Amino acid sequence: MGSSSTPIAVPAPRPVARRPEARPPRPSNVTLKVTMAVTGTVFALFVLVHMIGNLKVYTGAAHFDAYAHWLRTLAEPLLPYEGALWIFRVVLLLCLAAHIGASLVLIGRAHRAKGRFRRRGMGWRRLPATGMPVTGLVLLIFVVVHILDLTTGTKPVAAQGFESATEQTSPAYHNLVESLQRWPMALFYLAVMLLLGLHLVHGLWTLATDFGVTGRRTRRVWALAGMAFAAAVMLGNASIPIAVLAGGVG
């Protein structure tokens, strides 16, 4: 007699529960770095043009005041008085908000990625990079002080002899000299220019990476150009309070 075999029921395999894949953070680090690179480029060009304009103080009060007045009447009558200046200010303010916002997000992500352990023995070469948030904060404070001092004339930041601009004249030379004749303001200005140079050196160097510049020779040339750019801006601006205190301007 043949024996009948009963089939053994094999239980169906249970579906393996897959962990949900971690979504990449939004905005991405690349987007944030490009944002900082673009806005940083805007600021670098601004401080260069601003420094060139400041150096007109060496041409005398009449030329410097005429230049300051020209900035306020630029593109008239197409734009109203100070219209072009306000366009520049709004663009710079938007760039500043984007630059600071992207920086804070990147710093927060970097700290979370490091966890409890911190790298040690990085050396002084990493000082410009690790000090970027500090120099950036000091520069932001300086911008506020600079506006209160030479734009709005707000006391006690501004000098006692501050004179407001009108639609006919601009006493920019007088206000600049009155401000920098004060030792605390002149020394503060000089210290900030040194920090600006450090900020520009590292900021311009990171542009090479953020914009995809490759090649050892190209990056070396970029680094030298960045240092020359930073030195020109720093020394050009720093010469003004020194000249005022020495009596060469005034």
User: pLDDT tens-digit profile of 100-124?
Assistant: 999 999 988 888 877 665 555 555 5
- The percentage of residues in the chain with a pLDDT greater than 70, rounded to a whole number, is 85
Cβ-based neighbour number of residue 152 at 10 Å = 12
Question: What pLDDT does residue 7 have?
Answer: 59
Domain ranges, ordered by start, for the chain: 29-112+127-246
Give the span between the Cα atoms of 232 and 184, in whole angstroms: 24
**pTM, two decimal places:** 0.83
> Which CA distances in Å does 141 have to 47, 134, 135, 145, 157?
16, 11, 10, 6, 12
Cβ-based neighbour number of residue 156 at 10 Å = 7
Instruction: Indicate the average pLDDT of the chain.
Output: 88
Nearest CA-CA partner of 49 in 31, 26, 71, 66: 71
Q: Which amino acid is at 105?
A: V
Give the span between the Cα atoms of 94 and 115, in whole angstroms: 32
**CATH number at 29-112+127-246:** 1.20.1300.10
Question: What pLDDT does residue 26 have?
Answer: 81
Crossing angle of helices 29-54 and 183-210, rounded to 10°: 140
Bigger pLDDT: 75 vs 117 = 75
Least confident of 28-42, 109-123, 154-168: 109-123
